Amino acid sequence: MPELPNPEPKPLDHLTECGADSDPALVLRNHTLSYKDLKDRVGRLSSWLRDRVPAHGARVASWASKGELTCLLPLAAARAGLVHVPINPLLKHSQAAHILADSGASLLLGTAARLASLQAGDVPDQCKMLDESEVIAALDSVSGPMPPSQQNPDDLCAILYTSGSTGRPKGVMLSHANLWLGAVSVAAYLGLQSDDVTLAVLPLSFDYGQNQLLSTWFAGGSAVPLDYLFPKDVARACAKYGVTTLAAVPPLWVQLTEVDWRKEAASPLRRLTNSGGALTTELVDDLRRIIPGADLFPMYGLTEAFRSTYLEPAKVKTHPTSMGTAIPFAEIMVITDAGMVAKPGEEGELVHCGPLVAQGYWQDPERTAERFKPAPAGSRYGGMAVWSGDRVKRDDDGLLYFIGRRDAMIKSAGNRISPQEIEDAARATGLVAEAAAFGILDQRLGHAIHLVVRAATDATDPQEKLAKALAKELPNFMQPHVIHWRDTMPLNPNGKLDRTAIKTEIEA
Domain that holds residue 78: 29-151
> Do the domain assignments include residue 115?
yes
β-pairing, 107-110 vs 59-63, is parallel
Q: Which long-range contacts (CB under 8 A, 24 or more apart) does 98-102 make?
A: 98/168, 98/169, 99/61, 99/161, 99/169, 99/171, 100/61, 100/124, 100/127, 102/161, 102/168, 102/171, 102/362, 102/363
From residue 371, alpha-carbon distances to 160, 264, 349, 358 in Å are 16, 46, 12, 11
| Last residue within a domain, chosen from 118, 151, 184 | 151
> Do the domain assignments include residue 414?
yes
- How would you class 377 by CB atoms within 10 Å of its CB: exposed for 0-12, middle for 13-18, buried for 19 or more? exposed
| Last residue within a domain, chosen from 121, 151, 181 | 151
Rounded to an integer, what distance in angstroms lies between the CA atom of residue 76 and that of residue 11?
A: 11
> Do the domain assignments include residue 267?
no
pLDDT at 495: 61
Number of domains in the chain: 2
State pLDDT tens for residues 391-412. Answer: 899 999 999 998 877 667 788 9
- Mention every residue, 6+ apart, whose C-beta is less than 8 A from residue 256: 231, 234, 235, 248, 290
Q: Are 379 and 386 in contact (CB under 8 A)?
A: no
| Last residue within a domain, chosen from 151, 166, 194 | 151
pLDDT at 164: 57
CATH number of the domain enclosing 73: 3.40.50.980
> Do the domain assignments include residue 33?
yes
Q: Are 228 and 66 in contact (CB under 8 A)?
A: no
Number of CB atoms found within 10 A of residue 420's CB: 18
- Mention every residue, 6+ apart, whose C-beta is less than 8 A from residue 343: none
Residue 188, pLDDT > 90, answer yes
CATH number of the domain enclosing 485: 3.30.300.30
pLDDT at 166: 54
- Closest by Cα among 103, 123, 105 to 114: 123
- What is the pTM for the complete model shown? 0.88
State pLDDT tens for residues 131-153. Answer: 999 999 999 999 889 999 999 99
The number of residues making up the chain comes to 508
> Do the domain assignments include residue 435?
yes
Would you place residue 234 in the very low, low, confident or very high pLDDT band (cuts 50, 70, 90)? Answer: very high
> Do the domain assignments include residue 404?
no
